Chain A
Amino acid sequence: MLAQAFFVAVFGLAAIGFGVAVFRTSSMVRSALALLFSQTAIGAMFLAMQTEFLGVLQIMMMATEMSIMAIFMVMFMMDPGGLGGMDMTHQKRFSLGAGAGAAGVAIAVALLADWGPVTATAPDAGQQTRALGIELLGRSMLIFETAGVTILTAMIAATAVAIPVHKPAPGHNDQETPE
């Protein structure tokens, strides 16, 4: 129990620290990496909380996602290395307030709410995975399928948005008169 608390705390602090680092560095690549580490720390927290399947899933997914994000960073940013020292933020005061407020409210709820009795033991990993599988293909099948279809739609939509338009819109005059 104590060990669990220790690991959760350590990985939580790590996640928070890397999360903060995401917005404190000028380099976009570093931000992406920091986010990757933060997400990985969260995955580690899942593992510490005996949610092995989700933890592993989190680490794998986020590793992929964040690597893609890092690539995009390098692609899009005019200053991916943050060498220009240029400020990439705005409405900082409001954002700080909003973030602190949100965190404060959530913390207050976490501390003040009566969470009821806590289950000390958790099912072991294999049982968990099996039960989750049954859940996915049983009671929550509709949700699961919906999520799948949503991802597919998003993939198609993203691709459609991203593909460059070669042809002019129909009805548009192809042979543009030289100006």
Chain B
Amino acid sequence: MSPLALTVLAPLAAAVTIPLLRRGAPGLAVGGAALGLIASVWLLAGVAGGETPALVLPGLPGMPLRLAAEPLTALLAVVVATVGSLVLVYAVGYMRREPGRVRFFALMSLFLAAMQTLVLAGDWVLLLGAWEIIGLCSYLLIGFWFQRPEAATAAGRAFLYTRSADLGLYVAVFLLIATAGSSEIAASLDAGGGTTLAAGLLLLLAAMGKSAQTPLQDWLMRAMAGPTPVSALLHSATLVAAGAILLIRTAPMLPPGALLAVGLVGGVTTVVTGLIALAEGDLKRLLAASTASQYGLMLLAVGAGVPLAALLHLIAHAAIKSALFLGAGTFQHARGDTAFECLRGAGRARPWTFLGFTLAALALAGIPPLSGFFSKDAVIAAALAAPGAAWLAPLALAGTLLTGAYMARALHLLWRGAGEDRPVTGARWMGAGLAGLVAIAVALGAAFGAIGDLLATPVPKGTWAMLLGLAAALGGLALGWLVPVRRLLGPLYRRAQHGLVIAGGLTAWIGRPTMAIARGCERLERGLHTTVLGVGHLALAIARRVRSGDERRIDGLIFTLVAGVRDLGAQARTLQSGLIHRELALSAAGAAALLVVLLAMLLRF
């Protein structure tokens, strides 16, 4: 079996086996993920050695499904497999007391398989299918505790947001296939033509949905109602990355206009969600907003024309944010909640977890020599060198500043204060997952040069970029640690707490009209329903009337006939009195009648 297929099939097999066996779910899931990791590393090694493995599966007529590994996709597959395996290791501990573990691990494995398919997909159809499955898994995992109303609502909300944006992907894919005449992604990248601007913007829309870019960022914060491993795997490293991955893969074909749009959307998002993160009162929601912000930076990098910078940041962020989430999950288990009021002093109580969390936070903020420094450096350098540097560079720097600020604030809140701490079950598994991810987050920076070589693209660098980025990061950290957030944000604070909604936000602008339309449709539908029912009832009534009429007429006829015969019989019975003279009289009358008949016949003829 080729490593290409195994990368996808190992977690898929786990996803199928777990609900069938219903026991040993964690082991199966971790095993599947680990096998997938081994396969993906093997694949990456093969690709690095110059191979281009590809797998053509039967699919739509004329559009076979393809799995293809390029350096970029193989690298991403390794990232997904690594993060997935470590998060699953963590989840073994995190979900130890959970009754729905079978469902959880099956879904996580299915998600991993779908994500690997998405990453390795060589054609648009397979990519679409994988895209849908990860959306479904996301919905099911966010709503994992579907008994809680907020989890159910959050799941529905996430599904609706991403589904609406997915329309962009569908239309874009149709456009691309129609233009290139083939469903191969590689063919579309080479095709070019007039439709690329439209397709690029539509792809941007899809990426905005999946990567929670402004103004579609709201669902990601609410998605934190799901289990923390889900947040770590789906909502930081993989599912949300799908949007960025899509844009990174299609970056070569995007025209300058589309690139600028991508960059601006990313830039605005990084600032807006950064502000939201700064004002958040809940650790997981802060991390979610930060995720959206970091993906904004990646989009900015793509928009700046350097997808490699985006890729580096994506990889670094995947490790860092997963580590952060796993730390947050540990704190959550320790305190029973993720709101900062409950988490005060949680870091001091668990120094090892806090150490990992701090390292990851500093990495995210961009402190050398942690991995985030290098990737952010690349992004800022790309922004400075881009055609729209006047727009993009300030946004990138602002995003970096805000990153430092909110991470410092989170650390500050976790370190200061005191609270009731309680023992955490499965801490060893959780610690193992966290440690692995933190190690990667710390050390990954060293591998960036090798990645640049692998993709045959130089990693953007620059003295100014380094200085500016470092200054922004340090400034942000200092601000976040020293200045209370209220003072820092001023009048923006209250609005940022509510997700920086403008005039009611999406709820007012889209949600309510949509609901009104839906209600109108529902009323129309109900009217139609009643009308149809009424018609049916009317027809039934007519049929019943007709039937009763039939019965009364036909049966009545028969019954009348029967009754008549019976009456006749009864009357004939009275004729048979048994009295001789009566009988005689009757026979005389009969004879007379016969005579009359005879006479009549005689007169006639």
Contact = CB atoms under 8 A, between A and B. Distances in A.
Question: Do A and B have CB atoms closer than 8 angstroms in the complex?
Answer: yes
Interface of A: 90-91, 94-95, 98, 101-102, 105
Contacts of A101: 592
13 contacts: A90-B581, A91-B581, A91-B585, A94-B585, A95-B585, A98-B585, A98-B588, A98-B589, A98-B592, A101-B592, A102-B588, A102-B592, A105-B595
Contacts of B581: 90-91
B81 to A, nearest CB: 106
Interface in B546-593: 581, 585, 588-589, 592
Ranked 7 nearest A-B pairs via Cβ: A98-B588, A94-B585, A91-B581, A90-B581, A91-B585, A105-B595, A101-B592
Question: Per DSSP, are chain A's interface residues mostly helix, strand or loop, or mixed?
Answer: helix
Contacts of B592: 98, 101-102
A105 B588 CA distance: 13
B574 to A, nearest CB: 16
A100 to B, nearest CB: 12
Contacts of A91: 581, 585
Contacts of B585: 91, 94-95, 98
Nearest to B588: A98
A101 B588 CA distance: 10
Nearest to A98: B588
A102 B588 CA distance: 9
A90 B582 CA distance: 10
B100 to A, nearest CB: 89
A172 B317 CA distance: 118
A58 to B, nearest CB: 25
A102 B581 CA distance: 17
A152 B67 CA distance: 120
A105 B581 CA distance: 22
Contacts of A90: 581
Contacts of A95: 585
A116 B592 CA distance: 26
Contacts of A94: 585
Nearest to A94: B585
Contacts of B588: 98, 102
Nearest to A99: B588
Contacts of A102: 588, 592
A65 to B, nearest CB: 21
A31 B592 CA distance: 28
B586 to A, nearest CB: 11
Nearest to B579: A90
Nearest to A90: B581
A95 B592 CA distance: 13
A95 B580 CA distance: 13
A170 to B, nearest CB: 28
A94 B581 CA distance: 11
B578 to A, nearest CB: 15
B530 to A, nearest CB: 74
Nearest to B589: A98
B358 to A, nearest CB: 121
A95 B588 CA distance: 10
A98 B585 CA distance: 8
Contacts of B595: 105
A90 B577 CA distance: 15
Interface string B110-147: 00000000000000000000000000000000000000
A95 B585 CA distance: 8
